[in-house]
């Protein structure tokens, strides 16, 4: 546990240097809440402007919940693209195997913003069942906060950069609206996405995911991209993960040899 905390702390350092944010960035990590229930009574609007509730969109299927915002210049689009790439390789069909809910955390965004994001994403990733079973939602600040609190998602709006600071990741939800598990950061493996959906479909609750924090924040106006900070974090995270696993195995091996 101490090594995992060290990993989290080290992963935060590059983001802190890049974003120059004063608060403790660990406050913006997902506070994972497997087993928590999503609010059933909150109303949102879909890409057509229709009023919906997340519970009504599940229709007996597990859901993949992606919290972000549609005008995001940073990681939100990358999170969704990575998810779509993984889904394309699983062979799963939206509406048959899963439901996708992309919920905007920006209460200023409208159904028109959701419609544009949905159209863009489906044009790039025309996966089976996506048109009817990928739901891009907007809602009030209170409604979004209710869902965010339920899954342990925290964010803050930076008035200077006009961007939201928030963690990257996706949440798996059971057909009954209960948090089943998480995939944090970006770069989702198809096997992990399939496992998350399969586990959620049976109502199973996974253990908490490795607490790797990748923040969706910071935009370099000279390049128009968010690549440098992301690549540094991913490389550092991969290296530290190998070190943590290697160190754990080495300690276990030494303990085994010392035992009579």
Q: Per the domain annotation, does 11 fall within a domain?
A: no
Tell me which residue of 216, 219, 251, 214 sits closest to 236, measured CA to CA.
214
CATH number at residue 121: 3.40.30.10
pLDDT of residue 192: 96
| Counted domains in the chain | 1
pLDDT of residue 25: 63
Q: What number of other Cβ atoms are within 10 A of residue 115's Cβ?
A: 17
Which tens digit of pLDDT belongs to each residue from 98-126? 999 999 999 999 999 999 999 999 999 99
pLDDT beyond 80 at 242: no
Q: Per the domain annotation, does 249 fall within a domain?
A: no
pLDDT beyond 60 at 230: no
pLDDT band at 249 (very low <50, low <70, confident <90, very high): low
Q: Per the domain annotation, does 18 fall within a domain?
A: no
Map residue 166 onto helix, strand or coil. strand
Q: How many residues appear in the chain?
A: 260
pLDDT of residue 133: 98
Helices vs strands, H then E, count in the chain: 8, 10
pLDDT of residue 26: 66
β-pair partners for 181: 172
Spacing of C-alpha 231 from chain mean position = 18
pLDDT band at 68 (very low <50, low <70, confident <90, very high): very high
> Once rounded to an integer, what is the mean pLDDT over residues 16-28?
50
Lowest average pLDDT, out of 183-192, 203-212, 227-236, goes to 227-236
Tell me which residue of 149, 72, 64 sits closest to 106, measured CA to CA.
72
Which tens digit of pLDDT belongs to each residue from 169-188? 999 999 999 999 999 988 99
pLDDT beyond 80 at 227: no
Q: Rounded to whole angstroms, how far apart are CA atoms 4 and 9?
A: 9
pLDDT beyond 60 at 3: no
Q: Which stretches of 62-112 are assigned E, i.e. beta strand?
A: 63-68, 99-104
Global pTM reads 0.76
Q: Rounded to whole angstroms, how far apart are CA atoms 181 and 204?
A: 9
Map residue 136 onto helix, strand or coil. strand
pLDDT of residue 108: 96
Q: Per the domain annotation, does 87 fall within a domain?
A: yes
Q: Per the domain annotation, does 239 fall within a domain?
A: no
Q: What number of other Cβ atoms are within 10 A of residue 260's Cβ?
A: 2
Q: Per the domain annotation, does 226 fall within a domain?
A: no
Range of the domain at 67: 23-219
pLDDT beyond 80 at 231: no
Map residue 29 onto helix, strand or coil. coil
**30 Cβ neighbours under 8 A, 6+ residues apart:** 151, 152, 153, 154, 167, 169, 182, 184, 211, 213
% of the chain beyond a pLDDT of 70: 72
């Amino acid at each position: 546990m101490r090594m995992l905390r060290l990993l989290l702390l080290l992963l935060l350092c590059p983001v802190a240097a890049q974003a120059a944010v004063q608060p403790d960035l660990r406050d913006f990590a997902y506070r994972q809440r497997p087993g928590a229930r999503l609010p059933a009574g909150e109303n949102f609007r879909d890409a057509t402007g229709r009023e919906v509730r997340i519970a009504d969109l599940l229709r007996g299927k597990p859901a993949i919940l992606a919290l972000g915002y549609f005008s995001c210049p940073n990681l939100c689009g990358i999170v969704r693209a990575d998810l779509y790439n993984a889904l394309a390789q699983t062979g799963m069909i939206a509406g048959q195997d899963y439901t996708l809910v992309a919920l905007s955390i920006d209460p200023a965004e409208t159904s028109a913003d959701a419609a544009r994001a949905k159209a863009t994403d489906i044009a790039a990733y025309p996966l089976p069942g996506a048109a009817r079973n990928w739901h891009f939602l907007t809602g009030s600040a209170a409604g979004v906060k209710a869902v965010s609190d339920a899954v342990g998602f925290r964010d803050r709006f930076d008035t200077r950069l006009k961007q939201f600071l928030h963690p990257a990741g996706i949440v798996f939800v059971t057909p009954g609206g209960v948090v089943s598990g998480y995939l944090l950061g970006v770069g989702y493996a198809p096997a992990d996405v399939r496992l998350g959906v399969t586990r959620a479909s049976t109502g199973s609750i996974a253990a908490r995911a490795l607490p790797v924090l990748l923040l969706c924040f910071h935009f370099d106006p000279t390049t128009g991209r968010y690549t440098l900070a992301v690549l540094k974090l991913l490389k550092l995270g991969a290296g530290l993960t190998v070190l943590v696993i290697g160190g754990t195995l080495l300690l276990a091996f030494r303990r085994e040899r010392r035992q009579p």
